[in-house]
Amino acid sequence: MRTFFITGAGSGFGLALSRRVLASGDALFATDVQVDDLAERLGVPVGERLQVAPLDLARPASIEAACAAAVAWRPIDVLVNNGGYAVFVSQRDADMDAIERMFSVNVFGQARVTQALLDSVRSTRGVIVNLSSVAGRMVFPESGFYAASKFAMEALSEAQYVENAPFGVRVVAIEPGSFDTNFLARAAQESPPRRDDSPHAPQFEGWDERKLGMLVPPQPPRWVADAIYEASRHVQGFQRVRVGVDCRAILRIKDSLSPDDWSLLMGAIYGGPALQSDDSWLPLHPVLPQAVPEALRGSLTLAARSGHLAWWNDLEGGPQALAAWRAMPQAEDEASS
């Protein structure tokens, strides 16, 4: 029996994972800002296999108290840094106090939890699981600050492994796409209303349309819970785990390009300068399919099928290129497996 410590255990991925942990016969120290009815919702009484404690990631004293109680209960085998939320706003229109509050939870709060529990995880040669996001690898307009907090979690995950590998600690970074949780509802509450006088106002509608075209309808949170649980069992050292059809598709295309080319592509998608038909753009520019390297055709076929290239219709030659892609033999869709 392993012991899990989970932040944000009362909703979304944290609640789904908590149920998976208990159903698998493991022990759980579940934390969230409010935990009054959490044991009841989990269907397991507080006792040998379940403890609950309030933990507010924005309050260091709350973190210290919860982590001390957890270590006094059992050594921690799996630490899951799950809690967090999003503020979506352009950098021009942001309230920086709100951004600081988000970072205090998403980055500094999680770092404090890890610091407090690290010796316990070392003692068990355990696993640290950090909830990153597809936004930990790429950005949409208005996601820069939230993505920065997730990029930070990616960096912290790598450093946690490099620093603690000699002690047998393993690290997993989970990268979900769009899932059916209260994430967007919470983001709407935390994010400021868009300003009618913003210079970005004429772009808002296009931003939303393009972003939604790259994401799929919300997927079941149990997929993420299952991915976390299985990765915690099987990870050998360090591992990134992409979860969701949209995340896999987006990052598969991103990985086909250089970092600079990906940024240029995203700029073009969201209204920036049109892409030039030079050699560096052969993989994603609307050119004849036979000019595209064979190794990339699977990625582009997947992109066309999943709607990621719908914006090609706005470019000269785009409709013909899409038609040509759709006429090609369909590659295996790895993202749907």
Residues acting as catalytic residues? 146
Burial of 82 (0-12, 13-18, 19+ CB in 10 A): buried
Q: Is residue 1 within 8 Å of residue 23, measured between CB atoms?
A: no
Residue type, 307: G
Q: Is residue 130 within 8 Å of residue 78, measured between CB atoms?
A: no
Q: Which residues pair with 315 in a beta bridge?
A: none
Nearest to 176 by CA among 86, 286, 93: 86
Residue type, 172: V
**Number of alpha carbons in the 13 Å side-chain half-sphere of residue 181:** 27
* DSSP label at residue 24: T
* Cβ-Cβ contacts under 8 Å for 135 (sequence gap 6 or more): 143, 146, 147, 150
Q: Is residue 43 within 8 Å of residue 65, measured between CB atoms?
A: no
Q: Write the DSSP string, 168-225.
A: T-EEEEEEE-SBSSSHHHHHHHHSPPPPTTSTTGGGHHHHHHHHHHHSPSPBPHHHHH
Q: Is residue 158 within 8 Å of residue 56, measured between CB atoms?
A: no
Scanning 74-142, the segments in alpha helix (DSSP H) are: 96-103, 110-123
Rounded CA separation 43/45 (Å): 7
Q: Which two tokens stand for residue 272?
A: 């920036």
Residue type, 108: F
Tell me which residue has tokens 């393993």. 170
